[in-house]
Amino acid sequence: MTGRASAGGPSAPGPTDAVPTAAGSAPPSAAAGPGAVVLSAAPARAARRADRHTSRPAGWGAGPLSARAVDAVGLEARAADLAGRSLKKATKGAALDLAVRCTDFTTLEGTDTPGKIVQLCAKARRPDPDDPTVPAVAAVCVYPEGVPVAVGELAGTGIKVASVAGAFPAGLGPLAARLEEIRWVVDQGADEVDMVLNRAAFLSGDYRRAFDEIAESKQAAGAAHLKVILETGELGSYDQVRRASALAMAAGADFIKTSTGKIGTSATLPVALCMGEAIREHAERTGRPVGLKVAGGVRTSKQAWQYLVVVYETLGPEWMTPERFRIGASSLLNDLLMQIRMQRTGVYPSPDDFTND
Amino acid sequence: MADKRPVPDKPPTTKRARAAAPAAPAAPTPPPAPLEAPGGGRLEVRKTYKLFIGGEFPRSESGRSYKAEGVWAARASRKDLRDAVRTARAAADGWAARTAYNRGQILYRVAEVLEGRRAQFVDEGATGAEVAAAVDRWVWYAGWADKIQQVAGTVNPVAGPYFDFTMPEPVGVVGLAAPAPGLLGVVSRLAPVLVGGNVAVVVAAEASPRAAVTLAEVLATSDLPGGTVAILTGLASELLPWMAAHRDVDAVDLAGAPAELVPALEAAAADSVKRVVRPLDPLAESPYEILAFQEMKTVWHPVGR
Amino acid sequence: MAGDGPFKLDYAPSREGTDIVTIEPRNRLFIGGELVEPRSGRWLTTLNPATEELLAEFADGGADDVDAAVAAARRAYGSWHRRPGRERAKFLYRIARQLQERAREFAVLETMDGGKPIKESRDVDIPLAAAHFFYYAGWADKLDYAFAGRRAAPIGVAAQIIPWNFPLLMAAWKIAPALATGNTVVLKPAETTPLSALLLAEVLAEADLPPGVVNVVTGGPATGAALVGHPDVDKVAFTGSTEVGKQIQRALAGRPTRLTLELGGKAANIVFDDAALDQAVEGVVNGIYFNQGHVCCAGSRLLVQEPVLDELLDKLKARLSTLRLGDPLDKNTDIGAINSRAQLDKITELVAAGVEEGGQLYQPACTLPERGYWFRPTVLTGVTQSHRVAREEIFGPVLSVLSFRTAEEAVAKANNTPYGLSAGVWTEKGSKILWMAARLKAGVVWANTFNRFDPASPFGGYKESGFGREGGVHGLAPYVRLEGDNRG
C-alpha cells in the first residue's frame, strides 16, 4: 500500500510545505514552520511507514525538510542578468577547456549499436584528433547495453562510464526490476548511474515513495555515484523543482540532473539557478556537496559558459570541476571544439573541420 | 507603376548629422533603353492579388479568382477561411501575452511602413486623403495599447475584506467583414481589434480587394507575428456564413456584411454565443471600438494576515 | 588551465567604447530652438565621477538667461497649445523613436557624466525614457477620455527642475506629459549631469519640435531658484531633496503657481519569514545597491522578521561579496561611482555616525579604483529606529537592518518616518501582501520585487516625500487645467 504523505494533516499545503520525515515513532512537531504539513497519522499508519523506510542519509529525519518557496519572476530576472556576463578572453579559453572536461558525452538512441558506442568512445578520448591539447571528456553516457562496450573501450583512460538505469526515461517500471537494472550496470563496470525521479509519485504528493526509491537506488548503486534526474520540464513550477531537489539530495543523490533530454523541455538557466540555490542550501545545512548536471538542449559554447557563470556565481569556484558539475550533451562537443580552435587560430572554422561521431 | 515621389532632404542641422551625411555620389551609367510596350512606354510587371494567411501569400486552395476593380483577385474558399482561423488561433495566445507596450510599438511600426507606402496605396485605388486618414487612425489606435486598461479597468469597492479588480482582456479570434472604402474601412475595424490584443481574420470588402492586399503587404513587412492577421479576398456570400458559424471564432464584426446576409449571419453566430458587433458608423474612431472586443475579468483576493 | 586549484571565472572588462559619443567642450544653453551663449557669461564644469576627468564646460544660466528661456516658452505656447493633439503626439512619437535609435550613444553619455553602470543606463534608463515619450505621445490626442466629465486644457509654461540620479529619465518623466497636454517647458538639469539633457535637445531639434517648446537652462542652484521665482511660470515640477522641496513650496506660497514635488525617501523593505528568500535577497540588493543607492525610493531600511534574520543576513553578505564594483563603462560592473565628491562625503559622514551610534558595519572586500568617487556596498546591522542611519536619507549604497516580529510591528516601523515614497513587501502569502499594502503609508508598494518603473504606472510619494504622480493616466493631472476646476 502507498503511504500518502499528507495523511491526517490539516490544511492544504502552503509554500513551505514540509516534505515528510521518515516517521519514527512519534510524528514531527508542529514547530516545522508556517504552512507545514503535520503528520498526525494514526499509529498503525505510522508503523507501516516505518516498515517501508530503509536507509536514512544525513540531512533527513532530523525534522521536516521544508522546501523553500521560489519567486519565478525574481529567479528568471537573476538568471537573465547572469546570462549577460561576458568572459575575459583568457578565461574564455579556460572555460571552454573546463566545459569539455565536464561533458558527459551522451548517446541514448534506439540505434546505438556496439559500433556506434566504439565511435563515441574514440571521440570521448580524443575529441579533436588534430589537437592533442584538447582534454578528454568527463564521461560517456549510454544505455545499459552499451556499458560493457564502453568499459572495454575506455579502460585506463580515466573517463567514466555513466549509464542510465531504472526504466529510463519514464521510470515507471516495477521497482524490483529498476533496482536490478542498476545493480546490473554497476556489475558490468559502470562508474555512474543516472536514474530518474518518480514523477508520478512526486506529482501525486507521494513524497515518501519518491524518497524511498532514490534511497534504495543509492544502495543498489553501491560504490557508483548516483545522479537523480528531476525532469524539471515536467514539474510545473520552480517551487516543485526546489522541492524535488531537496528531496533527491536528502535521499542520497550525488548529483541532481535537470533532464532526460527525451521530452520537449530541457535544461534552462533559471532551472539551473534554482537547483544551484537548493544545492547551496543543502551544503550549508549538511556539509555535503552535491553536484549539478544540466542536460538537454545545451548545444552551443555560449550556453555552456552561461551555465558555468550561473554555477560559479551561486556555488563558487569549488563547483568548477567535473566532480561537481557536468553537462550532458552530444552536439555541444563539436561547438566547444570550434570555439577552442577559433581561440587558438583566430579564424572561424567550418563544422567540416571536426569529426561527426 | 509610378515612382514613389521622393521626400526632399532637409539639410543636416546638427554637427553629428552633418558628419554623417553622405558625400554626393558619382554620376551613374545610364540604364539600357526599356523594351517598348505595344502602346508605347515601359512594359510593367503585373501584380498577382493573393490571400494573406499565416504570414504568407498563398493562392486560394480552390484555384479560383474573381474580377474586381479591373483585376483578378484570389477567391477564397471556406477551406482557406478554415486555414486562416487555424493560423489565427495559433497566434492568439502569443499576441495576447505580449506586453501592451510591445503591441503598441509593433502597431506604431505598422504605421511607419504604411506611411512609407502611400504612393502604392494611391496606385491601388485609394485617395491621398484616405491614406493619410488611415495612417493617422492607425497611429491613434496604437497609442491606446497601454492605456485602454486604465480607462476601462476598475478597482471595485466590494463590501468585504477583498481586493477586487476588473480588467479588460481580448476575446480572442475575431472574424471581420471589412467595410468600404478599401483602405480606411479595413483600418477602422482592424486597428481596434489588434490593439486590444485580439487576432483577426479579415474578409475584405468584395468590391475593393486591392487595398486589402496591399495592407497585407504592409503587415507582412512590419513586426507583426505571422498569423495575427489573415486577409482573405473573395465573395461575401461564400465566406461570411462560414465565418459566422465557425465555432473557433470568438467574435464577429459585421461592419461590411451585405445587409441581406446579416440576419442569417447573426443566427449562425448564436450557435456558439459569439459576440456580434454591428457598428452603425463603420468609420467611427473611439476607444469603445476597442472595448467591443474585450472581455471583462474580475478577480477577488482576500486582504488579511 | 586544466589542473587543480579553485577555478577563477574572470569577467572581461567588457568595456563599452566611448567613440560613439561626441562631447562638445563648451555647452551652451538651448533657448528658442537655438544654442545660445549665457548672458551671465559664467561657465561650470562637469566631471566623470569614475575618473575625475573633466568632460566639458557648460553654461551657468543667470537670471537673464532664465528670463529669456521663460519668454521663449511663453511665445511658443501660443501656437503649441492650439495644435491638435494628434500633431503633438507625432512629435512625441518621433522623439521616442529617436531615443531608441540613438540608445547606445545616450547610455554611454549618461554613464560617463553620472557614474552609473552602463548595464543600468543601457537596460533601464534609456529604454524607460523612450517608453515614457512613447506612452505620453499616445495620450496627447485622447485627453477627452482621461478625466471623467471634465475637459482638459494645458496650464502654460512649466518650470521643471531635475536631479542627477537619472538625468535623462527624469527629463523624460517631466517633458513628455507636459508636452502631451499642450504645455511648454523650461528644463533645468542638475549641476553634475547636464550632458544628456543637452543631447536630448539635439533630438528635439531634429524632430522639428517648434522652437521654444522645450528650453534647457543649465546651471547651479541659483539657476533653479531664479526659475522657480520667475513670475511668468505657471507650473513648477521638482524632483530632488526634501530640503530643497520645502524651500520651493515656501517660495511659491501665496502664488497661484501649480506645484508637484518628488522628494526623498527612507523606504522600508520588509521580509517575512515565508518569503521566497533567495529572490528576496536579490530584491534587497537591487533595492539599495541599484544605481549606488542614488534612488529616492531605495529600500534603505531592511526590516526582517526575526526567525529568518540570521539566515537572510548570511545570504545577503554572501551575495554582497559577488557584487562587482568598478569602471561603470564595463558591462559586468554592478556598482558604479558615487556621483560627486560632495555626495561621497555625505555618505561617509552618515555611515560613521551609524557606527558610532552602535551599528555593526559590514562591507565586502573590494578594491576601489585609485581615482574617482567610490563607496563599497555597506550593511549596518543592529540598527534601531532612533539611529540617524534609520531616519536620515543617505542616498548611497548603505543598508540599515532592523528586525520585527509581527506584521503590525513591521507596518508601524515602516511608517515611522516623515517620508513615504515607497515600500517593499516579501512574502508568498497574497492576502498579507494586500493587507500590508493597504496599511503602508507609501505612494508605491512593491511586492516580491523592487525598483520597478513603467510609464503606465503612477509614481510619487506620501508625506514629506512629496505630492503629485508621474506616470500613468494620473501623471497627466499635474499638467492640465480641468474645466470647472475648483482648485485655488
C and B interact (at least 3 Cβ pairs within 8 A): yes
Among residues A13, A82, A76, the alpha carbon closest in space to that of A274 is found at A76
What are the phi and psi torsion angles at A290 (to 5°)?
Answer: -110, 145
**Which of C8, C9, C313 to probe by mutation at the A interface, max A CB count within 10 Å?**
C9
All 3 cell numbers of residue B150? 486604465
In contact, A356 and A337? CB cutoff 8 Å: no
- Model pLDDT, residue A71: 96
Cα separation of A69 and C400, whole Å? 25
Whole-prediction pTM: 0.87
Contact at CB, C8 and A317, closer than 8 angstroms: yes
Nearest-Cα residue of chain C relative to residue A94: C1
Q: Which chains touch C (3+ CB pairs under 8 A)? A: A, B
| Residue matched to cell numbers 509654461 | C157
All 3 cell numbers of residue B262? 446579416
Residues of B (103-142) whose Cβ lies below 8 Å from C? 104-105, 108, 136, 139-140, 142
C283 interaction partners in chain A (CB closer than 8 Å) = 74
B108 lies in some domain: yes
Amino acid code (one letter) for B50: K
Q: Which chains touch A (3+ CB pairs under 8 A)? A: C
Q: For A194-206, how does the pLDDT look when each residue is reduced to its tens digit (9 = 90+)?
A: 999 999 999 999 9
User: Is B301 an 8 Å CB contact of chain C?
Assistant: yes
- To the query of whether residue A302 is one of the catalytic residues in this protein, the response is no
Contact at CB, C434 and B305, closer than 8 angstroms: no
B5 lies in some domain: no
C138 interaction partners in chain B (CB closer than 8 Å) = 104, 142-147
User: Is B164 an 8 Å CB contact of chain C?
Assistant: no
- B30 or C439, which is more confident: C439
DSSP B4-16: PPPPPPPPP-SHH
Contact at CB, B144 and C434, closer than 8 angstroms: no
Half-sphere CA count of C76, side-chain side, radius 13 A: 24
Residue range of the domain that includes B86: 66-302
**Structural domains of chain A sorted by starting position, each given as residue range(s) with its CATH number in brackets:** 1-66 (no CATH), 72-353 (3.20.20.70)
In sequence order, the 6+-apart residues with CB closer than 8 A to the CB of B11 are none
CATH code where residue B75 lies: 3.40.605.10
- To the query of whether residue A293 is one of the catalytic residues in this protein, the response is yes
B146 interaction partners in chain C (CB closer than 8 Å) = 135, 138, 455-456
**Structural domains of chain C sorted by starting position, each given as residue range(s) with its CATH number in brackets:** 26-263+464-482 (3.40.605.10), 268-455 (3.40.309.10)
Cα separation of A208 and A227, whole Å? 19
Q: CA of B116 to nearest chain C CA: how many angstroms apart?
A: 15
DSSP C414-426: HH-SS--SEEEEE
Contact at CB, B104 and C432, closer than 8 angstroms: no
- To the query of whether residue C262 is one of the catalytic residues in this protein, the response is yes
A135 interaction partners in chain C (CB closer than 8 Å) = 2
DSSP A106-123: E---TT--HHHHHHHHHH
C→A interface, C-beta within 8 Å: 1-2, 6-14, 119, 273-280, 282-283, 322, 331-332, 428-429, 448-449
Cα separation of B234 and B53, whole Å? 14
User: Is A29 an 8 Å CB contact of chain C?
Assistant: no
pLDDT class of A17 with cuts at 50, 70, 90: very low
B150 lies in some domain: yes
Contact at CB, A317 and C9, closer than 8 angstroms: yes
Nearest-Cα residue of chain A relative to residue C8: A317
Q: Return the SS3 of C12.
A: coil
Contact at CB, C431 and B146, closer than 8 angstroms: no
List the pLDDT tens digit at each of the 488 positions of chain C: 444 456 778 776 677 788 899 999 999 999 999 999 999 999 999 999 999 999 999 999 999 999 999 999 999 999 999 999 999 999 999 999 999 999 999 999 999 999 999 999 999 999 999 999 999 999 999 999 999 999 999 999 999 999 999 999 999 999 999 999 999 999 999 999 999 999 999 999 999 999 999 999 999 999 999 999 999 999 999 999 999 999 999 999 999 999 999 999 999 999 999 999 999 999 999 999 999 999 999 999 999 999 999 999 999 999 999 999 999 999 999 999 999 999 999 999 999 999 999 999 999 999 999 999 999 999 999 999 899 999 999 999 999 999 999 999 999 999 999 999 999 999 999 999 999 999 999 999 999 999 999 999 999 999 999 999 999 999 999 999 998 887 76
- Model pLDDT, residue B13: 52
Nearest-Cα residue of chain C relative to residue A75: C279
A and C interact (at least 3 Cβ pairs within 8 A): yes
B212 lies in some domain: yes
Out of C16, C110, C191, C296, the active site residue is C296
| ipTM for the predicted complex | 0.89
B201 lies in some domain: yes
B227 lies in some domain: yes
**Residues A248, A249, A253, A258: what is their CA dihedral angle, to the nearest 10 degrees?**
60
Contact at CB, B105 and C134, closer than 8 angstroms: yes
The number of folded domains in chain B is: 1
All 3 cell numbers of residue C33? 530652438
Q: Which chains touch B (3+ CB pairs under 8 A)? A: C
User: Is A44 an 8 Å CB contact of chain C?
Assistant: no
Cα separation of A165 and C279, whole Å? 35
In contact, A195 and A181? CB cutoff 8 Å: no
pLDDT class of A337 with cuts at 50, 70, 90: very high
User: What is the interface size between B and C, counted as CB pairs within 8 Å?
Assistant: 77
User: Is C131 an 8 Å CB contact of chain B?
Assistant: yes
B19 lies in some domain: no
Out of A191, A194, A254, A335, the active site residue is A194
Cα separation of B218 and B230, whole Å? 12
B111 lies in some domain: yes
In sequence order, the 6+-apart residues with CB closer than 8 A to the CB of C208 are C91, C94
Out of C262, C393, C464, C470, the active site residue is C262
**Which of C334, C427, C428 to probe by mutation at the A interface, max A CB count within 10 Å?**
C428
